[in-house]
A and B are shown apart, each in its own frame.
Chain A
Amino acid sequence: MLNYKFDWSIVTSGKYFEWLVSGFKVTLQLSALSIVLAFLLGLLIAVMRMSHNRPIRWLSLAYLEFFRNTPLLVQIFFWYFGSYKILPTAVNDWLNSTNFEFAAAVIALTIYTSAFIAEDIRSGVLAIPKEQMEAARSAGFSYLRSMQYIILPQAVRLTVPPLVNQFLNLAKNSSLAMTIGVMELTYQARQVESYTFKGFEAFTAATVVYVAISLVITALVNLYNEKVLNIHKAA
């Protein structure tokens, strides 16, 4: 006995379709913004991690271990609910009058992912022969400039495949933002389910969209590889 009737029309047109589209837009904004910020922050942490200054190295190591080893969900709750306890009232009032749910989700996703990205970039840097750094330094570049002009451009190239993984993870992890009321794709799919009880249709639609987002990210990075870095797939 099959007592579930599929009705795909609810997710292809009408009110519920619009909800899913608006959720898709929020997921896209959340992911794109967090990917850019996480990459920049990850780059910074990676450079700090390889610095010759001991306190800076320790600081970045502590950052890494802390944010890599705590669950993302806990971090989201920390930024959204926990930050209230440490911020002054005026700041809290201002945050509460804005779309703080979204901001807290971006902060959590950025910081969490940056820790992984930093390690990937570091492994890329370690793969560059250390003579290159020595050569750069003896040619008169400072440590930061050697990194900027000589080491990082090569390292990032090597790091592209693991970076894609992190970007994909981030896009999918963004669904956890629904726990604090960010109306992204999974939130809206759940919403459609609770209004219509058509959970299979709603979540199938959401799944298709997540796969599409992931494929687009992969395609963009491959394009960047080929056009900008001149790396070809065969290589």
Chain B
Amino acid sequence: MKKLATLFMVTVLAALAAKTVLAADTLAEVKKKGVLVAGVKDSLPPFGYVDEKTRTIVGYDIDFINAIAKKLGVRVELKPVTSASRMPQLQEGHIDIIAATMTKNPERAKQIDFSHTYFFTGQKFITKKGTVKSLKDLDGKKIGTAKGSTSEQNAKKAIPSATVLSFDDYPQALLALEQGKVFAVTTDEAILAGILAKAPGKERFEIPNVQISDEPYGLGMRKGDKNFVDFVNKTILEMEKTGEAARIFTKWFGPATQFHLHRNFKITADR
């Protein structure tokens, strides 16, 4: 019996290990198959969401992927991912690159490689109007966010007395806020602005000026995939130089949108 159990475990582990065997040079691989498979968000305006008219996924993240694919001369295939699924998907080779509002942090950088920062924001809260003036107002409260994101860890660190409830995705967290099940919803400001813009009854909510962390976003690629990382970095630095990166920002966040965000960053070689 013990032998059988050991045999079973070994088989399972071997199967798992086999899945992590990957091609090391994504750049060559992508060129060969003629398609760049990108993991993106599909319900997070304006980074990645399904356009009501065209029924395709569009957004800030997607425009960056399109630019990279164009430079490579390949077509794009978009795969929706969640905050929790995106890293395993990349590591198992289901996708070539992550463009899904992913914050660069040291723990993640141990597992995957990041591009230069292509978007910069900070973590804040959505609350019912007038309920939160400072971080103290959140002491001992329930705070909602989405699973597998850095938001959860930052919130726990900033307000240790609070209970952080992780839902599957942000729409549910917002519903919980609306029903008074949580006192605030927390994540990066740019994402909050997107959620709030789409929320029913948005005039009852606000994003108070309480920030708990800096959030630089990077495109995620497999660890040690140097050629590909260099190529992506070169491409987005060029996009900054030609003004294309700024144009993409204005298209999705500028004065003509409902977000009115100010571009307070530039893409630089920051690694």
Residue B179 at the chain A interface, CB threshold 8 Å = yes
- Is B179 within 8 A of A92, CB to CB? yes
Q: Return the contact of A81 from the options B144, B147, B168, B175 (Cβ within 8 A).
A: B175
Q: How many residues of B contact A (CB 8 A)?
A: 34
Q: Return the contact of B167 from the options A1, A181, A195, A199 (Cβ within 8 A).
A: A181
Residue A13 at the chain B interface, CB threshold 8 Å = no
Chain A residues closer than 8 Å to B75, beta-carbon distance:
none
Question: How far apart are A184's CB and chain B's nearest CB, in angstroms?
Answer: 12
Residue B235 at the chain A interface, CB threshold 8 Å = no
Chain B residues closer than 8 Å to A181, beta-carbon distance:
144, 165-167, 176
Nearest residue (CB) in B for A194 is B148
Q: How far is the CA of A4 from the CA of B165 in the complex (A)?
A: 30
Max chain B C-beta neighbours (<10 A), residue from A3, A84, A93, A195: A3
Max chain B C-beta neighbours (<10 A), residue from A93, A181, A193, A199: A181
Chain B residues closer than 8 Å to A100, beta-carbon distance:
181
Mark contacts of A81-115 with chain B using CB atoms, 8 A cut-off: 1 yes-contact digit, 0 otherwise: 10010000000110010001100000000000000
- Is B167 within 8 A of A3, CB to CB? no
Chain A residues closer than 8 Å to B172, beta-carbon distance:
81, 179
Nearest residue (CB) in A for B16 is A200
Q: How far is the CA of A96 from the CA of B223 in the complex (A)?
A: 44
Question: How far apart are A22's CB and chain B's nearest CB, in angstroms?
Answer: 13
Mark contacts of A170-199 with chain B using CB atoms, 8 A cut-off: 1 yes-contact digit, 0 otherwise: 000000000111000001001101111101
Q: Return the contact of B17 from the options A2, A101, A197 (Cβ within 8 A).
A: A2
Q: How many residues of A contact B (CB 8 A)?
A: 26
- Is A197 within 8 A of B111, CB to CB? yes
Of residues 109 to 166 in B, which have CB atoms within 8 Å of A's CB atoms? 110-111, 144, 147-149, 152-153, 165-166
Given the known inter-chain contacts A3-B20, A181-B167, please indicate yes or no for A195 contacting B107, CB distance below 8 A. Answer: yes
Chain A residues closer than 8 Å to B152, beta-carbon distance:
194
Nearest residue (CB) in B for A207 is B12
Chain B residues closer than 8 Å to A6, beta-carbon distance:
13
Chain A residues closer than 8 Å to B223, beta-carbon distance:
3
Question: How far apart are B94's CB and chain A's nearest CB, in angstroms?
Answer: 15
Given the known inter-chain contacts A4-B20, A195-B107, A196-B107, please indicate yes or no for A84 contacting B148, CB distance below 8 A. Answer: no
Given the known inter-chain contacts A1-B21, A197-B111, please indicate yes or no for A92 contacting B180, CB distance below 8 A. Answer: yes
- Is A187 within 8 A of B166, CB to CB? yes
- Is B153 within 8 A of A195, CB to CB? yes
- Is B148 within 8 A of A190, CB to CB? yes
Chain A residues closer than 8 Å to B21, beta-carbon distance:
1-2
- Is B20 within 8 A of A2, CB to CB? yes
Residue B108 at the chain A interface, CB threshold 8 Å = yes
B-to-A contact residues, CB < 8 Å? 13, 16-17, 20-22, 24, 83-84, 87-88, 91, 107-108, 110-111, 144, 147-149, 152-153, 165-168, 172, 175-176, 179-181, 223-224
10 of the cross-chain contacts (CB-CB < 8 Å) are A6-B13, A92-B179, A179-B168, A181-B166, A190-B84, A193-B148, A194-B148, A194-B149, A196-B107, A197-B111
